[in-house]
């Protein structure tokens, strides 16, 4: 899967781009037309054929409310869970012949909630459907707190514990191998607890929490696609940081 911002950068650099999402290529025709002849919309299977080694579905979920929508089937909890899990299961089967990994982004509260959080995401039904689970563990997203942390961002330690305890809970509930987890971490200003700025300390403590649970890396998200090396480069007395400090690994992606 490739975001519209990255797609524009790739086209500007002279690359051909394949656009794909979970809703079908017909939802990307306007973007493809805007990008020009170097871009085309495709299904996830076509994206795999084009050379992508992973398909990552973002926001695979039901809407918060379906009262004003007309859907093709029942929308009670069992049917929501079945719709999401079967979609991912079918996608995984379709991608197997191409040796492509499948991952899915899900809400952080799904690691705590035993129901489907009202959107069809029930953790125990998802872990065997994909190769990687990518929980969105943004501390700002835990507006109602978690057990033991009513204010997930009161201190830097609270930020660390919010990530660590949530991962611990998911692993405990599902017995999932931590290497199947690749959490999204927060790289943007808080919007739920007073507007805390996320600088080097806040980013680094989240990474430390993910590393402590031996996850398969992590991902940072900033809604403005504004990324720097803050919190990523270990600063030492003998190797001072510079403005040109770059990431040591390309496995840490940005949403």
pLDDT digit string (tens) for 59-70? 899 988 767 788
Q: 19 lies in a domain?
A: yes
Q: Is residue 33 part of a domain?
A: yes
User: Burial level of 133, CB count in 10 A (0-12/13-18/19+)?
Assistant: buried
* Full residue range of the structural domain in which residue 43 is found: 1-52
Beta-carbon contacts of 94 under 8 Å, excluding residues fewer than 6 positions away, are: 44, 45
In-domain check, residue 121? no
Q: What does the pLDDT read at residue 242? A: 40
In a domain, 208, yes or no: no
Residue 110: predicted pLDDT: 97
193 close to 153: Cβ distance less than 8 angstroms: yes
- Domain membership of residue 225 (yes or no) is no
Torsion of CA 193, 199, 200, 203, to 10 degrees: 50
Instruction: Let me know if residue 3 belongs to a domain.
Output: yes
Segment 105-110 shows an average pLDDT of 97
Q: What is the tens place of the pLDDT at every residue in 128-175?
A: 999 999 999 999 999 999 998 888 999 999 999 999 999 999 999 999
- Is residue 8 one of the residues assigned to a domain? yes
Which pLDDT score, from 0 to 100, does residue 245 have? Answer: 33
Q: List, in order, residues 6 or more apart from 102 with CB less than 8 Å away.
A: 54, 55, 56, 57, 88, 91, 92, 95, 130, 131, 132
Please enumerate in sequence order all residues whose Cβ is within 8 A of that of 21, keeping only pairs 6 or more positions apart, or say none: 1, 27, 28, 57, 58
* Residue at 5 is within a domain: yes
The mean per-residue pLDDT over the stretch 94-108 comes to 95
Number of domains, the chain: 1
């Amino acid at each position: 899967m490739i975001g519209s911002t990255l797609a524009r950068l790739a086209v500007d650099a002279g690359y051909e781009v394949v656009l794909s999402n979970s809703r079908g290529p017909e939802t990307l025709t306007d973007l493809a037309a805007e990008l020009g002849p170097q871009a085309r919309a495709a299904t996830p299977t076509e994206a795999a054929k084009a050379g992508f080694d992973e398909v990552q579905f973002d926001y695979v979920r039901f809407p918060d409310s379906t009262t004003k929508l007309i859907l093709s089937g029942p929308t009670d909890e069992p049917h929501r869970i079945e719709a999401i899990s079967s979609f991912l299961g079918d996608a995984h089967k379709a991608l197997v012949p191409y040796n492509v990994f499948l991952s899915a982004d899900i809400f952080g509260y799904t690691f705590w909630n035993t129901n489907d959080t009202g959107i069809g995401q029930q953790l125990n039904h998802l872990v065997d459907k994909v190769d990687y689970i990518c929980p969105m563990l943004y501390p700002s997203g835990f507006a109602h707190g978690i057990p033991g942390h009513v204010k997930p961002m009161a201190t830097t330690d609270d930020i660390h514990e919010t990530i660590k305890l949530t991962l611990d809970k998911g692993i405990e509930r599902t017995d999932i191998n931590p290497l199947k987890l690749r959490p999204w971490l927060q790289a943007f200003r808080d919007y739920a607890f007073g507007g805390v700025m996320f600088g080097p300390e806040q980013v680094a403590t989240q990474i430390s929490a993910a590393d402590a649970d031996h996850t398969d890396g992590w991902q940072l998200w900033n809604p403005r696609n504004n990324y720097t090396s803050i919190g990523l480069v270990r600063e030492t007395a003998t190797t001072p940081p510079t403005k040109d400090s770059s990431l040591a690994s390309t496995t840490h992606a940005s949403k």
